[in-house]
Structure 1
Amino acid sequence: MADDGAPAALFDRAVVIFNPGRAGMDARIEALHQDLAADLPGLPVELLPTEYAGHARVLARTEAGRGAPLIVSVSGDGGYNEVVNGVMDVPGSKAVCTVIPAGNANDHYRSLPARTLSQAIREKAVRPIDLLRVTFRSGGREEVLYAHSYVGFGLTPLMAIGIEKGGKGKVLELVSVARTLRNLRPFELVRDDGATAKFDSLILANISRMAKYGTVSESHYPDDGRFEVVTLPHAGLMKMALMTLRAVTLGLGEQPSVTSYAFSTRNAVPCQIDGEVVHIQADTHVLVESAKGALATL
């Protein structure tokens, strides 16, 4: 229970964004509603179920545009990504975000300090974290997206597509991963200085662990204004399999960290942003930058 309701002064309301179609969600939202009422007595709590893919971003944008809400995303990495992008759509927003894990992979949640939402509220543990700002430029058009955890090219989006097609569950996912490795094709990137490179995998990581792929770097918290670059130059199936095995056992160890990373795609290539796959066209310029302290979180 919050002391004298003091933490409530940080927010003017709590907003819970969730997918009502997930199994067991009704009971979970009811329990969360009760916890928020106990931890933030007198604070209004709004429950906002999503109705379609992308709706969480619309809801978060609307809520971030007024007052000082605590926006709670009950979701996996993809749902939280929508919420984060909705908040970032509103410059100067006073919204504070947090995530309650409710997805197939919860990489971002696993990478944060271990504390319950109640503990974070009692401790008034609002702190800024970095985001990855991803700018795509193609044919005179520009699109900006934000990632709370990672941006992956090559292996990671193909594994996500394979798992989605193959079905959920450990056995089905392992079969899907094996098929993905067998069908992996390298992709070619062109750096801004004109040099080309061919990769099997490229991950730009703001967190240390990706639940589906293991430990990708030794960075422990996304608040240093930098992100890790994890690359695997094209070397064939065996080396890719060994890298995957090392990631899920020993980890990949220290990786180079940067504040920005830029290239152009030679061919069309899938890209995974926080678990969501987007398809990038050929001749697209990609700029990934660390947006230091961009998001207030609890």
Structure 2
Amino acid sequence: MLIFNPKGRSDPGRLARQLSQDLRARLPAIPVSLEPTGFAGHARALAREMASTGRPLIVSISGDGGYNEVINGVMDAGGNAVCAVMAGGNANDHRRSTSTMTLIEAIIGAEVRRLDLLELQIGEGPGAWSRYAHSYIGFGLTPAMATGIEEGTKGRLSELISVTRTVSRLRPIEIARTDGARATFDSLVLANIAHMAKYGRISEAGEPNDGMFEVIMLPHASKWRIALMTLRAVTIGLGPQQSVSRYEFLTLDPIPLQIDGEIMQINAHTSVLVEARQQALATLG
């Protein structure tokens, strides 16, 4: 199944049709279906339905957000399907960070491998909810940067200018750790990949299948320090970061979060738990 958003900016419909033609030419005995999405959450529903039928290959022709819907749909159905992503969106951090070969060759060779997922659990009791991330979960600067880039014009220079403007308006986030200590951050990112926000290299350590993820934090500081960190991320990288398998805290104010490109909101006084699910995702490419 090839899932794509027909209204995507990078013409994922054209990419999906081309991939379909290539697959039918090289694997004529294998059925291929094209499934355009019609609304937010549709990719998740399509993937869940398809994954419930056995062990299909589900390819998302999208950016990180579209692929997030697909992997969550597959996990809804028990995680038995094989997932893959073809870069077809505004941000393709996961594909850039984890690809080892062209997708078509990986499909022909049926070289399935397994990667970790991050499970985000928000709240407790009846109102609790959870979601999986294939790449990263960010608080503070990360969702603010994504909003600034989305509102600005496209292109590397224009987007970096948008990020700079975003930094000037940034509000810090305050959290309480499980030991009762409080901390104030300008940025907190929990990442399973080395690259994010298109141009940034956030980690030199860690593998996407080792049961660990990296914690990249910037304590609240002056705006020039935030700008310096951003500049370092898009040039030489941020270097080695702390690796953990679990990170937990309590929000003290409402805070935005970004999960694989999708922006959400968390209420104040809400528990947040992120855990690595080692090699939970079967993938190709």
TM-score of the superposed pair, with normalisation by structure 2: 0.95
For structure 2, the residue ranges without an aligned partner over 5 or more in a row are none
Q: CA deviation digits over 1:182-221, x for unaligned, max 9?
A: 0111110100111100000000000011143511011364
What's the counterpart of residue 32 of structure 2?
45
Please tell me whether the aligned partners of residues 61 and 89 of structure 1 are also in contact (alpha carbons under 8 angstroms). yes
Q: CA deviation digits over 1:150-176, x for unaligned, max 9?
A: 000010100111222234333442332
Choose the corresponding residue for 2:275, options 273, 286, 289: 289
Q: 1:133 is paired with a residue of what secondary structure?
A: strand
What's the counterpart of residue 47 of structure 2?
60
Alpha-carbon distance between aligned partners in 2 of 1:261 and 1:220, rounded to the nearest angstrom: 16
Alpha-carbon distance between aligned partners in 2 of 1:25 and 1:205, rounded to the nearest angstrom: 26
Amino acid at match of 2:17: E
What's the counterpart of residue 4 of structure 1?
none
Please tell me whether the aligned partners of residues 138 and 283 of structure 1 are also in contact (alpha carbons under 8 angstroms). no
- Map residues 1-298 of structure 1 onto 2, 5 A cutoff: 15-23=1-9, 24-91=11-78, 93-137=79-123, 140-212=126-198, 214-219=200-205, 221-298=207-284
Amino acid at match of 1:96: V
| Aligned-residue identity in percent | 57
Q: 2:43 is paired with a residue of what secondary structure?
A: helix
Alpha-carbon distance between aligned partners in 1 of 2:157 and 2:228, rounded to the nearest angstrom: 20
Question: Which stretch of the first structure deviates more once superposed, 161-170 or 229-238?
Answer: 161-170
For structure 1, the residue ranges without an aligned partner over 5 or more in a row are 1-14
Alpha-carbon distance between aligned partners in 1 of 2:259 and 2:185, rounded to the nearest angstrom: 18
How many positions carry a matched residue from both structures?
A: 283
Alpha-carbon distance between aligned partners in 2 of 1:110 and 1:219, rounded to the nearest angstrom: 16
Alpha-carbon distance between aligned partners in 1 of 2:125 and 2:82, rounded to the nearest angstrom: 36
Q: 1:253 is paired with a residue of what secondary structure?
A: coil
Please tell me whether the aligned partners of residues 229 and 256 of structure 1 are also in contact (alpha carbons under 8 angstroms). yes
Q: 2:198 is paired with a residue of what secondary structure?
A: coil
TM-score of the superposed pair, with normalisation by structure 1: 0.91
Amino acid at match of 1:190: A
Distance 1:272 1:26, change over 3 A: closer
* CA positional deviation for 1:117: 1.5
Please tell me whether the aligned partners of residues 260 and 289 of structure 1 are also in contact (alpha carbons under 8 angstroms). yes
Amino acid at match of 2:82: V
Q: 1:121 is paired with a residue of what secondary structure?
A: helix
Please tell me whether the aligned partners of residues 134 and 145 of structure 1 are also in contact (alpha carbons under 8 angstroms). yes
Question: Which stretch of the first structure deviates more once superposed, 215-224 or 165-174?
Answer: 165-174
Alpha-carbon distance between aligned partners in 1 of 2:249 and 2:278, rounded to the nearest angstrom: 21
What's the counterpart of residue 8 of structure 1?
none
